[in-house]
Amino acid sequence: MIELDDLRGFVEVVESGGFNRAAKRLGISKSIVSRRIARLEADLGARLLSRTTRGISPTEAGLEFKARSERILAELEEAREAVAHQGGEVVGCLRLSAPLSFGVRYVTPILTQMAERHPRFEMDVSYSDRMVDLIRERFDAAIRIGTLRDSSLIARRIAPVRSVFVASPDYLARNGRPRMPSDLAAHQCLIYTGRVAADWQFHSGKRSISFRPEGRLRSDSGEAILQWAIAGLGITEAPSFMVSDAIESGTLEPLLLDYPTSEHAIHVVRPPGSYVPGKVRVLIDTLVERLGGEPEWERFLTLRE
């Protein structure tokens, strides 16, 4: 008799492209994964995987069996969630991708609350600014900030966010305060390299202003940039959720508020499809409940203006 763990192991091997990666994802040894695949092939009387020096790939029979296995596992998960939902419980494992800084600061407390409320709920969370492929990497959902590039994903807007230009009081005392975007040419700019657009963008009425920052310090880490700004090494642009606490404490001061940046949004996205797993639905509902509307970081900056 074919066992469900064997199906999961086979699907994971095909998805990850190897026994080692599949074993790591499943949290078991490579030998166990290998035994499960061998058992499946023996039960079915067919070879499911081609093993070569280049790696592992599914045979034609393996591709067909994978598609059917995925449907079986998905239907089982739906049935499990439906029964659990009758008792108000959330079950299953949520694979979530979240931006590093925002995720650690704001998503982790929400996930903690969800874990406490639902003892049978499992989570596998990746905190990274990397743009993951939800379908290929088998994530249930991802939290994205800014413009959504993949229109095939289903998105739910959670909260607004915008960029703020900041510097430390010490830096401004030594170098002066910029009054307009062009003044930034005389300042050290701390440059975040983890985004596509290189220019800093401002608005003055209906007019858009672009400025290409120059500076000796660059990083793809927003947290590193923030620490440099607090240390008085220059001026930087950062999301409001990253700097609101530092502004409130006086560690950083907001700049150029008369030249606002474009407002963006925080979204939670999921793979396409009409069916929304209970674990994803609870995540979305909780995020909207805790962060929806006008978030704390935006209220504070509005008051400062």
The domain tally of the chain equals 3
Please list the helix, strand and coil fractions of the chain in percent, rounded to the nearest 5, in that order.
45, 25, 30
Euclidean distance between CA atoms 36 and 23, whole angstroms: 11
Of the three residues 53, 85, 117, the one that is the final residue of a domain is 85
Of the three residues 56, 85, 114, the one that is the final residue of a domain is 85
- 28 lies in some domain: yes
Looking at the structure, do residues 209 and 75 belong to the same domain, yes or no?
A: no
Looking at the structure, do residues 165 and 257 belong to the same domain, yes or no?
A: yes
Looking at the structure, do residues 200 and 120 belong to the same domain, yes or no?
A: no
Looking at the structure, do residues 255 and 171 belong to the same domain, yes or no?
A: yes
pLDDT at 305: 46
Read off the tokens for 68: 């059917």
Looking at the structure, do residues 168 and 248 belong to the same domain, yes or no?
A: yes
Looking at the structure, do residues 38 and 120 belong to the same domain, yes or no?
A: no
Parent domain of 16: 4-85
129: Cα separation from own chain's centroid: 7
Looking at the structure, do residues 141 and 286 belong to the same domain, yes or no?
A: yes
What is the identity of the amino acid at 218? R
CATH number, domain at 65? 1.10.10.10
Q: Which helix (H) or strand (E) holds 63?
A: helix 60-86
pLDDT at 299: 64
Looking at the structure, do residues 199 and 57 belong to the same domain, yes or no?
A: no
Grouped pLDDT means (10 residues each) for the chain, 305 residues: 81 84 84 88 87 79 86 75 61 87 91 86 88 85 82 86 92 95 93 82 86 91 93 94 89 91 86 80 89 72 53
Looking at the structure, do residues 72 and 51 belong to the same domain, yes or no?
A: yes
The predicted model scores a pTM of 0.68
- 59 lies in some domain: yes
Contacts 24+ apart (CB under 8 A), 242-247: 242/101, 242/102, 242/105, 243/164, 243/166, 244/296, 244/297, 244/300, 244/301, 246/166, 247/164, 247/166, 247/300, 247/301, 247/304
CATH number, domain at 98? 3.40.190.10
- 305 lies in some domain: no
